[in-house]
């Protein structure tokens, strides 16, 4: 007997540890690593509906994956193909949520239907504050047009037999004005050279404006629940705030928002460690918690309580093994390793591993930066000479998994004392 949408929603969203959607990071290797360490639910990176509408579903027998690909040059028989989404059903079945970026209900439905065979739920991104998303009416722009957001959720729920959730940021009037200005700029002729925006800086929400922001946010998530959303994730920052500003994880703020809805409530923002998880759960015992930068810092944060996090060199080795196993895009692989090094304050140019990583131009060179032999990792995961062996889908990594093999060069050269400048 198949599960009802309500049952699936509870299984995916209720009191779970979740890998948050992160562009470039949440490709298959990181998702698989998170699941192996204990993540209950994983999100894909945001995929824009226009991109999904151009893909074709293919079974990749060599990797044991389902690939959604499109021809780079638009020709039907092109030899150059770009994999938009790669899924490993054996590992991800029952845990995978597709996050889409969209501003149109019909387009969102068509895009989701393309991948519906291989996903367990779909999430509407109303959280991204970046210019490319907002000026197209996606991301946080949808929080300024609740009627469109509601229409998208209603359309998806009416036509799909899977849960539909949404991820938002806290709403405030100042952020709203900035969003509306960015939306007005849509269609204007771009300057030849646009000054790069500093995405790390932002405007912190003053305490006097917090109550108003909470009320606006509560009203919005109630509207999404009424439209049919099965869960809501709230990044506890406004669109004007960035990672340098702390998230609003105050007890009163969390309770005010979570108690306003009956659907599962997911907390996102500044949750890096198990201690952070514990603090949030002390306030909201039944909430789910998303790990974003916390997972990039050390994906073993998902391990069961009482199990210590793995050392950074072992985490990097595991991730690179998965990158090789699933033929991950080099640029995305390097990005994740860079973020792991940065968040662990190992990005000093005096650190030979960091310096070699910055100069790496292939996955093999990334491995060499950490004194790892890429061919040895290929043998370990069964990817050598184009032959893929059966892989234990239910295997959970233990400390013994990372013990050095005779043919693997030691990774102990990564210094844990170096700091970012």
Which domain CATH number covers 162? 3.20.20.70
Q: Is the domain of 242 the same as that of 338?
A: no
How high is the pLDDT of residue 136? 86
Q: Is the domain of 360 the same as that of 287?
A: no
Q: Is the domain of 276 the same as that of 128?
A: yes
For residue 120, being part of any structural domain is answered with yes
How high is the pLDDT of residue 421? 33
How high is the pLDDT of residue 396? 35
Number of domains comprising the chain: 2
pLDDT tens track for 194-247:
444 444 455 556 566 788 889 999 999 999 999 999 999 999 999 888 788 899
For residue 412, being part of any structural domain is answered with no
Q: Is the domain of 293 the same as that of 228?
A: yes
Q: Is the domain of 395 the same as that of 345?
A: yes
How high is the pLDDT of residue 244? 84
Q: Is the domain of 142 the same as that of 243?
A: yes
Q: Is the domain of 17 the same as that of 100?
A: yes
Q: Is the domain of 71 the same as that of 23?
A: yes
Q: Is the domain of 357 the same as that of 214?
A: no
For residue 198, being part of any structural domain is answered with no
For residue 397, being part of any structural domain is answered with yes
Q: Say how far apart CA 391 and CA 380 lie, in whole Å.
A: 10
Q: Say how far apart CA 281 and CA 15 lie, in whole Å.
A: 9
State the residue range of the domain holding 333: 312-402
Q: Is the domain of 288 the same as that of 337?
A: no
Q: Say how far apart CA 373 and CA 364 lie, in whole Å.
A: 8
For residue 197, being part of any structural domain is answered with no
For residue 419, being part of any structural domain is answered with no
C-alpha torsion 331→335→338→340, nearest 10: -140
Residue 176: which residues within 8 A CB-CB, separation 6 or more?
143, 144, 239
Which ranges of the chain have pLDDT less than 50? 79, 189-200, 385-421
Burial label for 92, CB within 10 Å (0-12, 13-18, 19+), is buried
Q: Is the domain of 393 the same as that of 269?
A: no
Q: What is the pTM of this model?
A: 0.85
Backbone angles phi, psi at 56, to 5 degrees: -130, 135
For residue 421, being part of any structural domain is answered with no
């Amino acid at each position: 007997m198949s599960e009802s949408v309500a049952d699936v929603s509870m299984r995916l969203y209720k009191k779970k540890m979740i890998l948050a959607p992160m562009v470039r990071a949440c490709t298959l290797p990181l998702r698989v690593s998170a699941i192996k360490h204990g993540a209950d639910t994983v999100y894909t990176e945001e995929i824009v509906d226009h991109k999904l509408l151009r893909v074709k579903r293919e079974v990749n027998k060599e990797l044991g994956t389902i690939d959604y690909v499109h021809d780079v040059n638009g020709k039907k028989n092109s030899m150059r193909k770009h994999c938009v989404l790669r899924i490993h059903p054996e590992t991800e079945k029952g845990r995978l949520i597709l996050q889409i970026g969209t501003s149109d209900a019909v387009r969102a439905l068509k895009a989701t239907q393309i991948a519906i065979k291989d996903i367990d739920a779909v999430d509407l991104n109303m959280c991204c504050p970046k210019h490319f998303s907002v000026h197209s009416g996606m991301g946080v722009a949808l929080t300024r047009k609740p009627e469109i957001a509601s229409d998208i959720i209603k359309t998806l729920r009416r036509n799909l037999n899977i849960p539909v959730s949404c991820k938002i940021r806290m709403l405030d009037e100042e952020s709203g004005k900035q969003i509306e200005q960015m939306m007005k700029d849509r269609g204007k002729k771009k300057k030849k050279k646009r000054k790069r925006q500093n995405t790390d800086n932002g405007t912190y929400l003053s305490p006097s404006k917090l109550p108003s922001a909470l009320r606006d946010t509560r009203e919005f998530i109630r509207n999404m629940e009424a439209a049919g959303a099965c869960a809501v994730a709230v990044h506890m920052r406004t669109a004007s705030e960035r990672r340098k500003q702390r998230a609003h994880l105050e007890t009163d703020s969390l309770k005010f928002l979570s108690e306003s809805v009956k659907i599962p409530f997911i907390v996102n923002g500044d949750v890096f460690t198990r201690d952070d998880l514990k603090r949030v759960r002390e306030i909201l015992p039944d909430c789910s918690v998303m790990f974003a930068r916390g997972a990039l810092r050390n994906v073993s944060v998902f391990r069961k309580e009482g199990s210590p996090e793995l050392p950074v060199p072992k985490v990097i080795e595991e991730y690179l093994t998965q990158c090789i196993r699933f033929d991950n895009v080099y640029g995305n692989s390097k990005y994740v390793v860079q973020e792991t090094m940065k968040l662990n304050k190992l990005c000093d140019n005096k650190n030979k591993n960091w310096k070699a990583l910055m100069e790496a131009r292939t996955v093999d060179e990334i491995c060499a930066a950490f004194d790892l032999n890429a061919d040895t990792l290929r043998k370990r995961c069964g990817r050598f000479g184009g032959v893929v062996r059966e892989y234990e889908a239910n295997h959970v990594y233990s400390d013994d998994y990372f013990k050095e093999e005779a043919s693997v060069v030691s990774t102990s050269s990564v210094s844990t004392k170096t700091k970012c400048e």
